[in-house]
Structure 1
Amino acid sequence: MKYKANRVLGVKPKRRLQIIFFLCICFLLVFWFECRIFSQGLNRKGSRHKFLEKFREEEGDTLWHGESGESSVNSISFQVLSWRPRALYFPNFVTAKQCQSIIEIAKSNLKPSGLALRKGETAESTKGIRTSSGTFISASDDSTGVLDIVERKIARATMIPRSHGEAFNVLRYEIGQRYVAHYDAFNPAEYGQRSSQRIASFLVYLSDVEEGGETMFPYENGANMGVGYDYKRCIGLKVKPRQGDGLLFYSLFPNGTIDKTSLHGSCPVIKGEKWVATKWINDQEM
């Protein structure tokens, strides 16, 4: 009985101690080996991190670029507002100081906004369609250099060269003023053949508007088409002006035909004042 009492699971006490000691040694070896692997992984990761930091310090976190490319990485934040029409929103595209500078440049040259006339239309028959005041300013005529900066940024955002852009049309909308829904592109059947066509428009909102003054797209996603839409109504997708923000929309499809959903207008200002700078972009150099 004493012999049986000193055995556990059929193993003698002395043998049992040897087995326990051996298992402890194995466990320690496994633990040491795993620590070595983990440590080497961290070292490799740290070395890679240091290599990337060194690369970024030396190369400026850039990629190889073409002769006409840029030597630094830039990011311009935007939000896709719609695919029909293709409309993108750029928050904080320019600074408040730049906005005020453009307004000051334009203030002394404002005149009643003009309107491109269709065949058979007259200034009298189109009265009330566009009631804002505005002026055209080229970046080359701006001694402050602000419009040059904005124009370059628009070219980066659209990937269309500056040479394809018209002069900035800076507009002021006072209470009750508006622009009835229209197309920026010119339908040859209505306006006749032209040497170039407007493919996109970039709006820079120079001021906040307390109420009203939204840029609206009544045909967004095919809505209100073919139902006798009243062009004076302010419905559909509406973009509220916020100082410094930008809005880009395309008037043409890639195949050159007019996107019918790009119909847009400016809702009447109800309270406050609206300032906006528009850059029309053409398919030909201007």
Structure 2
Amino acid sequence: MKCNNGKSNWSFRSKLGLPVFIFILCLFCFLAGFFGSSLLSQDVDDDRPGPRLLQSVSDHSEFDLITSGETGDDSISSIPFQLLSWRPRALHFPKFATAEQCQSIVNMARPALKPSALALRKGETDESTKGTRTSSGVFISASEDESGTLEAIEEKIARATMLPRSHGEAFNVLRYEIGQKYNSHYDSFNPAEYGPQRSQRVASFLLYLTDVEEGGETMFPFQNGLNMDGTYMYQRCIGLKVKPRQGDGLLFYSVFPNGTIDPTSLHGSCPVIKGQKWVATKWIRDQIEDD
């Protein structure tokens, strides 16, 4: 039996041809090595630490660091972002905060929610603006948060915007339920409409605290000069839309570098169709804010 098997195997290799047999054997070894390395790499990926609040570049060898000032850092930090638009200036920061940090802010705000209010223009009343903003919200300062979550988020926002923490208002934590929205508006205050201002909102940073199944996008209807012919209805949800994703941040500037209001910074919150939208907004001014 053993002799017959040997002859049969040799006959098979002869018919196949020695070069072809060697090629098949090499191909088998390559595939085995490839799939083996894939399994090993998956094991390594599972052991990687989760995203940190503020990442420092661990390998500084490719950078020629210089001596920092007293308030600076002696290392390089990494905050990934995506440029969404130049008109208005808008940037998206993926995974800016962790799920645990977002849930902590939601839990902090939930018991104190009240119907959101509006800053009224000259001649406007609560009745005439009814339905413009239908969310619930509460202002929370970092000093009120014993866990330190808001302080850490605030510090990271300051680094991302290069605008000091002392210029930021308290966080406005908002909840939008099904059907709730915020019609298009400006975060900056035009003195001709609102009267003299002690300071001006120059930038807004939105931290999305939850995913939204459908709807709830932040939209910029005048992006790149579109829809500015005077016929735009402020209730419409059109233009550049940013879908809320838990932990993501959105930064946009309401004024130009010379301090004048950017007309393309008009924005709003589309109605929530399915789910809930939670967001923490940090408005940043051109003057130091009192605590």
Give the TM-score of the pair, scaled to structure 2.
0.77
Aligned 8 A contact 1:61 1:73 in 2 = no
Overall identity of the aligned pairs, in %: 73
Give 2:117's aligned residue. Answer: 114
- The 2-side partners of 1:128 and 1:222 are apart by 27
- 1:82 counterpart (82, 85, 89): 85
- 1:268 counterpart (248, 264, 271): 271
Shift of 1:143: 0.6
Question: Is the counterpart of residue 258 in structure 1 residue 258 in structure 2?
Answer: no
Question: Is the counterpart of residue 150 in structure 1 residue 148 in structure 2?
Answer: no
1:34-113 equivalence runs, <5 A: 62-113=65-116
- The 1-side partners of 2:67 and 2:111 are apart by 46
Q: Secondary structure at the match of 1:71?
A: coil
Give 1:191's aligned residue. Answer: 194
Question: Is the counterpart of residue 206 in structure 1 residue 212 in structure 2?
Answer: no
> Which amino acid in structure 1 is aligned with residue 83 of structure 2?
V
- 2:283 counterpart (259, 280, 285): 280
Computing the radius of gyration over CA atoms, which structure comes out larger, 1 or 2?
1
Q: RMSD value over aligned CA atoms?
A: 1.3
Shift of 1:56: 5.1
- The 1-side partners of 2:213 and 2:238 are apart by 18
- The 2-side partners of 1:216 and 1:208 are apart by 16
Over residues 50-101 of structure 1, what are the superposed CA-to-partner deviations in whole Å (9 max), with x where a residue is unaligned?
xxxxx958xx984321111012210100010000000000000000000000
Give the TM-score of the pair, scaled to structure 1.
0.79
Unpaired stretches in structure 1, ≥5 consecutive residues:
1-54
- The 2-side partners of 1:84 and 1:107 are apart by 35
Question: Is the counterpart of residue 138 in structure 1 residue 141 in structure 2?
Answer: yes
> Which amino acid in structure 1 is aligned with residue 266 of structure 2?
L
Aligned 8 A contact 1:253 1:259 in 2 = yes
- The 2-side partners of 1:76 and 1:200 are apart by 18
> Which amino acid in structure 2 is aligned with residue 66 of structure 1?
G
- The 1-side partners of 2:147 and 2:230 are apart by 48
Q: Secondary structure at the match of 1:108?
A: helix
- The 2-side partners of 1:256 and 1:172 are apart by 31
Residue range with higher mean Cα deviation, 226-235 or 153-162:
226-235
